Amino acid sequence: MVIFAPMFAEIITIGDEILIGQIVDTNSAWLAKQLNAIGIRVKQITSISDSKEHIVEAVENALNRVDLVITTGGLGPTRDDITKRTLADYFDMPLVMNNDVLEQVKYVFESRGKAMPDVNRYQALVPEGCEVVPNKNGTAPGMWFPVDDRKVLVSMPGVPFEMKGLVTNTLIEKWKAHFKTPHVYHRTVLTQGVGESTLMGMIDKWEHSLDELEIKLAYLPSPGMVRLRLSATGNDHDLIQKNVDKKVAELEQLLGKLIFGYETDTLESVVGDLLKKRGETLSTAESCTGGYLAHLITSIPGSSAYYKGSVVSYANEVKMKELGVSEENLRNFGAVSEQVVIQMAEGIRKKMNTTYAIATSGIAGPDGGSEEKPVGTVWIAVALKDRTVAKKYNFGDNRERNIRVSAITGLNKLRKEILKGA
């Protein structure tokens, strides 16, 4: 039986544009996810400038720490793209013309109806002892440098579209074959309704039981929800999958309807699936969320099958004219109140003749709050055919977070009501 040893990687992103904040390094996050999925753990991510000294120092340090070093960036044809020359000097490999790469570079320009500039011939020069990784999406090839029997350095272009193509088309399989990585299995459970610390208290005993099966648990909070990721690695894929799935089933018993989905699910997709399967419809009336709730719902392909539309009733006169909110309730209780948000939900459901409606009214901030109704106070209502339910929340003093959390809380509130009826 083959025993798979742990493998570690380091990602080095090269480019002044990253360090001055001109672009955001999305490559590293994507790469780390791909590596983790095949059992290679990323120990460090480093961003450095376009400097020969910095590149050499970063590469030497990384090779002393890990088995796989990945660099992205600095492979273009211009003077500031020095990664290839630096690596050629570092590995003592002269640059030689690679005719296959040259033909690819010519093809890229010809396919765009342009002649190849002479400066781009430089991209067909590669270090003599490296293995070229063909780039079907651009002009700069990837390069595979064997360091010793175990360690490898891979250099790739920094353009995300090109880098991802190299990884998915070629490098994933090469890494798996070279490093003989262990099996990795993840399950991600998505929760909404309680915070990270509350959730921890609810599953503390269950979490301790994971140790005996060598399953790791990660809490991944984001505005309005917490993801719970269970991970296991080993030689026997079927066994680790069985163990993780068993623990997920136990978690479902503990958390019940706090769990709204798994892996890449979103509340808007989960609610959309429920409505579509039941042949039911939805409308929304938004004040503090300003159309963000409608945006989430309509971001799902096919949402026109169940979503009829929204009224963004920011002003009180719109609440009265379009949704039938009474002037008396606005005067006596204010726009951010149970009475008003219920009338908003019932008004939009009747106006658009839908099975359900969600309404939001609150104080998103940063100003507009009072002692009685501080910033972050939000009322959310869900109207059904036979009843309307409403609840008050306080989501804090960050405007963007309040809008986001109000919208997904409204969707989750509807999800629970649909399941309750079912």
Distance between CA atoms of residues 69 and 87, nearest Å? 12
**Tens-place pLDDT, residues 323-382:** 999 999 999 999 999 999 999 999 999 999 999 999 999 999 998 889 899 999 999 999
Name beta bridge partners: 309. Answer: 283
Mean pLDDT within 199-216:
96
- Is 60 in contact with 69 (CB distance < 8 Å)? no
pLDDT-based confidence at 1, cuts 50/70/90? very low
Confidence of residue 7 (pLDDT cuts 50, 70, 90): confident
Query: Cβ atoms within 10 A of the Cβ of 160, count?
Result: 14
The CATH number of 7-179, from 3.40.980.10, 3.40.250.10, 1.10.260.40, 1.20.1250.20, is: 3.40.980.10
Q: Degrees (nearest 5) of the Cα angle 212, 216, 217?
A: 120
Q: How far apart are CA 14 and CA 60, in angstroms?
A: 15
Given CA atoms 84, 140, 178, 128 in this order, what sign does their dihedral have?
A: negative
Q: Where in the chain is the domain with CATH 3.30.70.2860?
A: 183-262
Nearest to 142 by CA among 113, 112, 172: 172
Q: Are 371 and 300 in contact (CB under 8 A)?
A: no
Cα dihedral 396, 399, 404, 410, rounded to 10, equals 60
d(Cα 227, Cα 218) in Å, to the nearest integer? 8
The residues pairing with 95 across neighbouring beta strands, listed in sequence order, are 127
Sheet with 259-262: strands ordered across: 216-222, 225-234, 183-192, 259-262
Q: What is the pTM of this model?
A: 0.80
The pLDDT tens digits for 113-170 are 888 888 888 889 999 999 999 999 988 999 999 999 889 999 999 999 999 999 999 9
Residue type, 386: D
Average pLDDT over residues 298-304: 98
Pairing assessment for the beta strands 282-286 and 259-262 based on DSSP bridges:
unpaired
Residue 45's beta-bridge partner residues? 11
Confidence of residue 4 (pLDDT cuts 50, 70, 90): low
CA 48, 51, 57, 63 dihedral sign is positive
What is the distance between the alpha carbons of residues 239 and 110, in angstroms, rounded to a whole number? 52
H/E run at residue 75: none
Count CB neighbours of 201 within 10 A.
8
- What superfamily does domain 267-421 belong to in CATH? CinA-like (3.90.950.20)
- pLDDT > 90: percent of the chain: 84
Amino acid identity at 189: V
CATH 3.90.950.20 residue spans of the chain:
267-421
For 183-262, CATH number out of 3.30.70.2860, 3.40.630.30, 3.30.450.20, 3.40.30.10 equals 3.30.70.2860
* In the block, residue with structure tokens 């009474």: 326
DSSP label of 213: G
Report the C-alpha gap between 291 and 346 in whole angstroms.
18
Between CA 2 and CA 149 the distance in angstroms is: 18
Strands 259-262 and 225-234: unpaired
